[in-house]
Amino acid sequence: MKYLEEYRNPEIAHRLLDEIRDKVTRPWVIMEICGGQTHAILRNGIDELLPDTVTLVHGPGCPVCVTPLELIEKALTLASRPEVTFVSFGDMLRVPGVSRDLFKVKSEGGDVRIVYSPLDAIRIAKENPDRQVVFFAVGFETTAPNSAMLVAQAVREEITNLSLLVSHVLVPPAMTALLDSPQNRVQAYLAAGHVCTVMGWQQYESIVRDYHVPIVVTGFEPVDLLSGILSAIKQLESGQAKIENQYARMVTREGNLYAQRQIDDVFQICDRTWRGIGVIPRSGLKLRDKYATFDAEPRFGLTDLVIAEPADCISGIILQGLKKPNECPQFGNRCTPATPLGATMVSSEGACAAYYNYQRFRNLSEK
């Protein structure tokens, strides 16, 4: 199993851990941006194996977690309409809106379909010409190309009963927003390998230059993450700040140019609200004017909603790496996967879910 077993090899992992211990002379805070990496870290107990001086904080890279409550409510409204077939990735169905989630709408008779590829929405639209098919276009640069292809394909096939509820977000603006915050504690980033597979690592060059922060592009297996952490530590200890590409087996400087062209043809950059964090300028994608007919919001007359986040949920603080999930007083008490206060507790990439699922008894754990 090339590219899998060798990156789970315990001996290599422990050699990397030894080297990290050798290099570290003082405390450092490193953020992994991606929720998938957060889960890999907690699932493998990597943070537990690191020296106490290395603190991993968890970033806002969970597309489910950062989709604003307004968009969730719009999704719930659309999915409830009798003429709409609402098409979504499975992750989004459990995300709580104000009083319900998409699973609840489905159980009430809403036509909600789970897909693995946005292009499935084309098939559904063709099979149901009398219905309005709405695709919930969420995710980072990893899923945006597929949403763009959906629009392009719909244009080619002259499909008119399809639209998108768009909530795509971009990683680099979130990274700079965190570094700009007076509360920032991030000293180095692990960049998400799959985002860089699409966009290349050149998009981080200006961040490194402007903020003098080391960025290491990393994959998702234990050896990937540990070698990324080691690279970041080496840079921090020597006062360097550069981009290193630990995920060279997948990532190039330029990335996937075809996918980038697809995104650029269909979407343009816009300001976007991140759930729990607020508006981050130029951090989102919206449909270009020439594809405005595919925008579900005007098509269904959805006006902007202003909805307060649950006051007891500190997911915004957690998504900015300012606190860890188990530092939240609600963690594991009022807030569990069955009774989530925020999306970070239900998403398969959410930091709170990672702590709850893998490590909530850590202080009890007998080793």
Partner 1 sequence: MPDKPLAPEDFARCPLPISEHDTVQLGHGAGGRMMQNLISNLFRWAFDNDALNKMDDMAVVSLPGNKLAISTDSFVVDPIFFPGGNIGELAIYGTVNDVAMSGARPLYLTAGFIIEEGFPLADLRRVVESMRDAARTAGVSIITGDTKVVHKGKGDKIFINTTGIGVIEHPHTISGTNLQPGDRLILSGTIAEHGMAVLSQREGLQFDMPVLSDAAPLHGLVSRIIEAGGGSVHALRDATRGGVAAVLNEFAVSSKVGIRIQEKSIPVLPAVAGACGLLGLDPLYVANEGKLVAAVSADKAEEVLSAMRAHQMGKNAVIIGEVIAEQPAVVTMQTLLGSWRIVDIPLTEQLPRIC
Q: Give the footprint of partner 1 on this chain (CB under 8 A).
A: 1, 4, 8, 10, 13-14, 36, 42-46, 48-49, 63-64, 89-94, 114, 116, 138-140, 142-143, 194, 222, 337-338, 348-349, 356-362, 364-367
Closest to partner 1 by CB, 43 or 253: 43
Closest to partner 1 by CB, 194 or 324: 194
CB of 131 to partner 1, least distance (A): 15
CB of 355 to partner 1, least distance (A): 10
CB of 261 to partner 1, least distance (A): 20
Q: Which residues of 121-156 are buried (b: 16+ CB within 10 A; e: fewer)?
A: bbebbeeeeebbbbbbbbbbbbbbbbbbbbbeebee
The angle subtended at Cα 147 by Cα 143 and Cα 150, nearest 5°, is 140
Contact between 150 and 156 (Cβ < 8 Å): no
Q: Name the DSSP class of 69.
A: H
Q: Which two tokens stand for residue 111?
A: 């036509």
Closest to partner 1 by CB, 171 or 208: 171
CB of 14 to partner 1, least distance (A): 7
Which residues are registered as beta bridge partners of 131?
none
Closest to partner 1 by CB, 52 or 304: 52
CB of 26 to partner 1, least distance (A): 24
Dist. CA 178–CA 159, nearest whole Å: 41
Closest to partner 1 by CB, 43 or 282: 43
CB of 242 to partner 1, least distance (A): 26
Closest to partner 1 by CB, 311 or 364: 364
DSSP-based three-state secondary structure for 128: coil
> Long-range contact list for 325-332, CB < 8 A, 24+ apart?
325/58, 325/351, 325/352, 325/354, 325/355, 325/356, 326/355, 326/359, 326/360, 326/362, 328/352, 331/355, 331/356, 331/360, 332/356, 332/360
Closest to partner 1 by CB, 186 or 353: 353
CB of 80 to partner 1, least distance (A): 21
Dist. CA 354–CA 50, nearest whole Å: 18
Q: Which residues contact 72 (CB under 8 A, 6 or more apart)?
A: 95, 96, 97
